[in-house]
Each structure stands twice: as C-alpha cells, then as structure tokens.
Amino acid sequence: AQSVSQHNHHVILSEAASLELGCNYSYGGTVNLFWYVQYPGQHLQLLLKYFSGDPLVKGIKGFEAEFIKSKFSFNLRKPSVQWSDTAEYFCAVVPSNTGKLIFGQGTTLQVKP
Amino acid sequence: DAEITQSPRHKITETGRQVTLACHQTWNHNNMFWYRQDLGHGLRLIHYSYGVQDTNKGEVSDGYSVSRSNTEDLPLTLESAASSQTSVYFCASSPGHPEQYFGPGTRLTVT
C-alpha cells in the first residue's frame, strides 16, 4: 500500500537551531507533495507544495523543502527556528494513480526559547 | 472571504448514539473530504465527494456515512458512535487540483 513516513516523531530544538524533518513516500510514479503545519489548537495550514519544476521549493515563514525523486523524499528545512514554529508538521503526498492525499504520521516540533 | 467551517467544534456523546458533524464551504469547490486525526496515524481519509450526489469511501469508512445534496455541505454521520471513534475530525475541500483547504476541526469524544 502507498504510504508516507516521517522519521522524526518528536523534535526538540532551541531557538536559532536549524531544522530538518524527514519525509519519504512509497510510490514510484508522479506525485504532488505537501507540507502542512498545525499550530496548537488550530487547523492545518499549507506550508509549501511541489507539483513540478524546481525541486527546491520555498514556502511561508522561511521554510523550504527539497524533492529528491531518486530517494522518494521531500524533507522540510528551516535554517533558524523560532519559538513560534512550535507545532505539528505533516508531510502529505498525492500519487497520480489515486489523486488522494496520503498523510504521514506527523512530527511534533517543540522550540525552546 | 470564502472559508470552510465545521460545527460543532467540540462534542461529547454516548456510545450507540447517532452523531452528525457539519462541514460547510463557501468556495464553491466540487471536492470535499473528511479525515480523522489520531496520534501516531496522522490524518486518515474517511469519505470524500467529487460533486453533488457523489460519495466515496476512504481508508477508514466503517461506521461513517456522508451525503452530498449541494455543493457547499458534506455532513459526516456516525450511525452508532463507538469509543474507537473518539478523535479529531477535519473536513477539507479542493477545487479539483491536489491542494486541499482544511476546516478548523471537530473534537469528538464518545463515552
């Protein structure tokens, strides 16, 4: 079955530290890729998306992600995190054969001031 | 501004009762989706609809039903609530491309 794996379930960082959250998916065809963020008590918001073109995608709030097709990966990065980045982060994939969004398990990021 | 709303935001019900969660969007999107969010599972698709009178089962559809009588609404019904259905439920909509827009969620507790 198609799946999305997020390797880090809970990450704790200090402010100004760099962030990288891993995401891998299991589908060999064309995909659309997303990172969503859920701040405490709020709904999911889109951070960034990849449909085609430049595999390095820039999103809101200084986040970026790189699509590496050969590794089936779409890792999320931010060079310097802030306390306000404390949230849960979800990687999601839409395989071209189903058109349906498949979510990873989520990563809880806690940033200490 | 166009938006997607869910009601109620919090609900406590008893085992065996029928519960309906509302989802309303004003974007005029054809596609609407219901997900449940559980710790360690991310979001899982319950049901989805690609237009009026169209409904489809998702990954975890047992015990749930939906109906689509107009473009704006996709209510989710739990026929006979079970404790395993305690969860946070998110509705989403999409105009037809892969990006989806999510509602604020409904926290349902079944006692």
3-state secondary structure labels for all residues of chain B: CCCEEEECCEEEECCCCCEEEEEEECCCCCEEEEEEEECCCEEEEEEEEEECCEEEECCCCCCEEECCCCCCECCEEECCCCHHHCEEEEEEEECCCCCCEECCCEEEEEC
Comparing CB atoms, the residue among A9, A43, A51 nearest residue B103 is A43
Q: What is the pLDDT of residues B47-68, one digit of tens each?
A: 999 999 999 999 999 999 999 9
Q: Where are the alpha helices (DSSP H) in A1-113?
A: none
CB contact under 8 A, B104 and A43: yes
Q: What is the pLDDT of residues A50-92, one digit of tens each?
A: 999 999 999 999 999 999 999 999 999 999 999 999 999 999 9
Q: Which residue of A has its CA nearest to B48?
A: A100
Tokens, residue A84 = 């306000």
Q: State how far residue B64 is from chain A, nearest Cα, in angstroms.
A: 19
Q: What is the pLDDT of residues B11-34, one digit of tens each?
A: 999 999 999 999 999 999 999 999
Residue B48: predicted pLDDT: 95
Q: State how far residue B91 is from chain A, nearest Cα, in angstroms.
A: 10
Q: Which residue of A has its CA nearest to B107?
A: A41
Q: Are B76 and B57 in contact (CB under 8 A)?
A: no
